Amino acid sequence: MTTALILAVLIGAVAGSRTLLAPAAVSWAAYGGWLDLSGSWLFFLGHPISPWVFTAMAAAELVTDKLPNTPSRKRPFPFASRIVGGAIAGAAIGANVGAWVPGLIAGGVGAVAGTLLGYAARQRMAAAFGRDRPAALIEDAVALTIALLVVAAA
C-alpha cells in the first residue's frame, strides 16, 4: 500500500501542474485494464468514453495554459480544481489496492505540493529563459512523463 500512496502523491502532483492530465492518465489506465476500478465509485473512469473526454479536456488545458489571459494556478478556483483532480486521480491509484480514501488524501496533498512547487519552478525557468513558453512546454513534458510512469507502475 505504501507504493500506491507514493504513486497517488505523484499523480496528485501531476494534477497540480496540469489539472486534467492526471484524471486523463488514470482514465486511460482504467480503460486499458491497468487499474481495476470496477468495484469502486470510480468505475466511470474506465468507461470507454471517459479517457477520450478527459484527454480532450486535458489537451484544451494544455493550449489555454499558454494564453496570456489564463489566471494563476494559485487563484482559488484553479487551485481547488487541481486539488479535486489530484484527489480523484489519487483515489483511483489507491482503489487499485483497496485504499481509495488514503489515495484520495494523498492525491490531494500531492496536488497542493505540485501546484505550489510547479508554480515556483515554472517562474524560475521562465526567468532563466526570459519568457514563459519554453518553461510551460517543459512543465507539460515533465507532467506527462510522470503521469505515464505512475500509471505504468500502478
Domain that holds residue 27: 2-153
Ramachandran bin of 87, using left for φ above 0, alpha for ψ from -120 to 50, beta for the remaining angles: alpha
Measured in Å, how far apart are the chain's first and last C-alpha atoms?
11
pLDDT for the residue 39: 86
- As a whole number of angstroms, the distance between CA 8 and CA 93 comes to 6
pLDDT for the residue 58: 97
**Rounded to the nearest 5 degrees, what angle is found at the Cα of 123, between the Cα atoms of 151 and 26?**
15
Q: How many domains does the chain fold into?
A: 1
- Can you tell me whether residue 73 is helix, strand or coil? coil
How is residue 151 written as a grid cell? 500509471
How is residue 36 written as a grid cell? 481495476
- Can you tell me whether residue 111 is helix, strand or coil? helix
pLDDT for the residue 1: 80
**Surface-to-core class of residue 69, CB atoms within 10 Å of its CB (0-12 exposed, 13-18 middle, 19+ buried):** exposed
Answer positive or negative: Cα dihedral of 94, 99, 103, 104: positive
pLDDT for the residue 68: 87
- Can you tell me whether residue 104 is helix, strand or coil? helix
Mind listing the pLDDT tens digit for each residue in 71-109?
999 999 999 999 999 999 999 999 989 999 999 999 999
pLDDT for the residue 126: 96
| String of DSSP letters for 32-72 | TTSS--TTSTTGGGGSTTHHHHHHHHHHHHHHHTTSTTPPP
Residues of the chain with pLDDT under 70: none
pLDDT for the residue 22: 98
pLDDT for the residue 18: 96
